[in-house]
Amino acid sequence: MAKLCEGRIVIVTGAGRGIGREHALSLAAQGAKVVVNDLGGNVDGSGGDLSPAHQVVAEIEAMGGQAVANGDSVSDWNGAQRLIQTAIDAFGDLHAVVNNAGILRDRMLFSMAEEEWDAVINVHLKGTFAPSRFACSYWRERSKEGKPVDGRIINTTSVSGIYGNAGQTKYGAAQAGIAAFTNIAAIEMARYGVTVNAVAPVALTRMTEGLGPAPETDEDRERRSPRWIAPIVTWLASEESKAVTGRVFEASGDVLAVAEGWVRGPRVAPVDDPTKLGPIVADLVAKARKNSGMNGEPGGWPQPK
């Protein structure tokens, strides 16, 4: 029986450790040829070490799969172009890009430095855009030449962006931007045979181990394992997923869900006198669903005091 991603050629960014490593191993186990991209930097983006990417390649080859390592920065324009070309040169084509690379520099808004904002936005938002741009250009040209295209962009966003979490204004802003990018890119690329989706993972990794209480039991640790994120990403990279686009999936050891986007809530006719808006706005807000908390449930968002 053919594997789910048999013959698919997939790039995974940030694939040397954590969630990205699980993606790469799962995709390879399902028959994909994988480009393992990773700078090997620290959680804050500093430093660099290509050995994690090479280690994942070795793991894939040990299981009988095919993979190559790539150390380009996804937020560098020329590096992103080289990354896409790596897949084409190594395996002759490209079917999916999993944008997973990221860093973390949490700080409250009033204490944030400009450099911290720029670094997080650059890696997450530009690091999603740049590889996607060159992949989509490749697929568009193939489509215009009359060649078959069945492409996938799979972005990594976060519940911090779609629901909101204190201390993560810059990180959350980037993740919300990725969710919007996903929706719009899906519209733009539909005519070329390309789907664009995103996954908001919750898992215990280098990036998240300091954000909450440590797991107290083996069961808790297993529930927070990054391996729970890989199945939906692997399926989205397959041919089976061609009818699904423009969606954000939440994935963890607790749940697999579709996050629903912004919708228009209670409404009234336009008002041209601001002095009359007090009771009108109060009524609209009272009728509207409460903002969701980090658990995705309406009403969980902290209310102003």
- Residue type (1 letter), 246: G
Closest CA to 120 of 101, 100, 99, 105: 105
Catalytic residue among 138, 163, 171, 192: 171
In this structure, the answer to whether residues 196 and 145 fall within a common structural domain is yes
pLDDT on residue 212 = 56
pLDDT on residue 223 = 74
**Segment 153-184, tens digit of pLDDT:** 999 999 888 887 777 888 888 999 999 999 99
Length of the chain: 305
CATH number at residue 50: 3.40.50.720
SS (H, E, C) the chain: CCCCCCCCEEEEECCCCHHHHHHHHHHHHCCCEEEEECCCCCCCCCCCCCHHHHHHHHHHHHCCCCEEEECCCCCCHHHHHHHHHHHHHHHCCCCEEEECCCCCCCCCHHHCCHHHHHHHHHHHHHHHHHHHHHHHHHHHHHHHCCCCCCEEEEEECCHHHHHHCCCCHHHHHHHHHHHHHHHHHHHHHHHHCEEEEEEEECCCCCCCCCCCCCCCCHHHHHHCCHHHCHHHHHHHHCHHHCCCCCCEEEECCCCEEEECCCCCCCCCCCCCCHHHHHHHHHHHHHHCCCCECCCCCECCCCCCC
In this structure, the answer to whether residues 305 and 241 fall within a common structural domain is no
pLDDT on residue 165 = 75
In this structure, the answer to whether residues 66 and 160 fall within a common structural domain is yes
Per the domain annotation, does 4 fall within a domain? no
In this structure, the answer to whether residues 112 and 205 fall within a common structural domain is yes
**Segment 97-108, tens digit of pLDDT:** 999 998 777 678
pLDDT on residue 32 = 98
pLDDT on residue 203 = 63
In this structure, the answer to whether residues 162 and 125 fall within a common structural domain is yes
Counting as low any pLDDT under 50, the low residues of the chain are 208-209
What is the rounded distance in angstroms from the CA atom of residue 50 to the CA atom of residue 164?
Answer: 33
Per the domain annotation, does 3 fall within a domain? no
In this structure, the answer to whether residues 254 and 277 fall within a common structural domain is no
In this structure, the answer to whether residues 284 and 144 fall within a common structural domain is no
pLDDT on residue 44 = 55
Per the domain annotation, does 187 fall within a domain? yes
In what side-by-side order are the strands of the sheet with 256-259?
A: 67-70, 33-37, 9-13, 96-99, 151-156, 194-201, 248-251, 256-259
Cβ–Cβ under 8 Å, residues 56 and 25: yes
Active site residue 192: no
Predicted TM-score of the model (pTM) = 0.89
In this structure, the answer to whether residues 280 and 216 fall within a common structural domain is no
As for how many domains the chain has, the answer is: 2
Per the domain annotation, does 1 fall within a domain? no
Per the domain annotation, does 40 fall within a domain? yes
pLDDT on residue 98 = 98
Per the domain annotation, does 226 fall within a domain? yes
pLDDT on residue 181 = 97
In this structure, the answer to whether residues 239 and 294 fall within a common structural domain is no
Q: Which domain does 197 fall in, by range?
A: 9-259
In this structure, the answer to whether residues 302 and 240 fall within a common structural domain is no
